[in-house]
Amino acid sequence: MPNPPVLDPNALLLPLHNYIVDDLSNTDIAATAALAAATLNKLAAPMRKMLSDAGAQADYIASHFFPDADDPSTPGNLFFWPAARPGEQHTYADVEDADYSLRASVFLSERDDAGTVYPAGFSLLLKLQENACELAKKLPPAVFEKLEFQLKGSSLPAGFEFLDDSQHLPVMPNMRRQFLKAIDRAHAVTARTKRPEFEAVMLHYIWDETEPVKDFGAVLSTLAALFAAIHRQAGN
């Protein structure tokens, strides 16, 4: 996999630095939604390049920013998902129905009860429904081993893990084993709770200015590579 594009998340977040969720007026909410959309749209081109470099056919990857008016702290999401037909119109329902999707969002600074302000940042998420989990299980172990090797260094990205409310499932060490564990856990939760829909597997990462800048690009590139690998597997 080629080296990921050099991204400066601090520079991307700079226009949002003066906004704290707890202090937002209605005018501020509209302004931060527009700034979040602009920030994430600046990510669209490098994310598309990552997907293309990893082997995903650009014509069959849809992308769109959808605002979230109900959540001022996270004003919207940039989504990538498999398109049934190139050039089709995109709706949020398309994303919800997709077997797999890659999404990025901006979250704003927040103040706790003690007055401590927590910095703005990015949330990155690879979401896999049941069919995509079966595709992930068929990926050659070398796919995971290569990505794991590229992430290794003096320290691992903090907070890069499967989104799980009952277990702590970091993505490393042994990425493939952790992936299979997350998939098994999703099947177990779906069966135990008798849910009509599959409990999706979500590989999640949160970055803010307290984390190393290099980790942002490295994790985003890893998520793009996994998305592309699953996309290729779906076409086989």
pLDDT for 132-167, tens place per residue?
A: 999 999 999 999 999 999 888 767 888 899 987 677
- Residue 47 CB contacts under 8 Å (≥ 6 apart), including other chains: 63, 78, 80, 102, 104, 220, 224
- Residue 224 CB contacts under 8 Å (≥ 6 apart), including other chains: 47, 50, 51, 54, 102
- Report the distance separating Cα 122 and Cα 152, nearest Å: 21
Q: How far is CA 149 from CA 143, 156, 175, in A?
A: 10, 11, 10
If residue 64 lies in a helix (H) or strand (E), which one and from where to where?
strand 61-67
Measuring CA to CA, which residue among 162, 154, 155 is closest to residue 184?
162
Query: Which pLDDT score is estimated for 6?
Result: 67
Q: How far is CA 160 from CA 92, 107, 125, 172, in A?
A: 26, 17, 10, 8
DSSP state of 194: T
Query: Which pLDDT score is estimated for 1?
Result: 46
Coil vs helix vs strand at 3: coil
Query: Which pLDDT score is estimated for 5?
Result: 56
pTM assigned to the model? 0.91
Q: Which residues pair with 125 in a beta bridge?
A: 103, 204
The tens place of each residue's pLDDT in the chain, 236 residues long, gives 455 556 899 999 999 988 999 888 888 888 998 999 999 999 999 999 999 888 877 778 899 998 887 888 888 899 999 987 656 677 888 888 899 999 999 999 999 888 899 999 999 999 999 999 999 999 999 999 999 998 887 678 888 999 876 778 899 989 999 999 999 999 999 999 888 899 999 999 999 989 999 999 999 999 999 999 999 998 87
Q: To 10 degrees, the CA torsion angle through 17, 21, 25, 28? A: 40
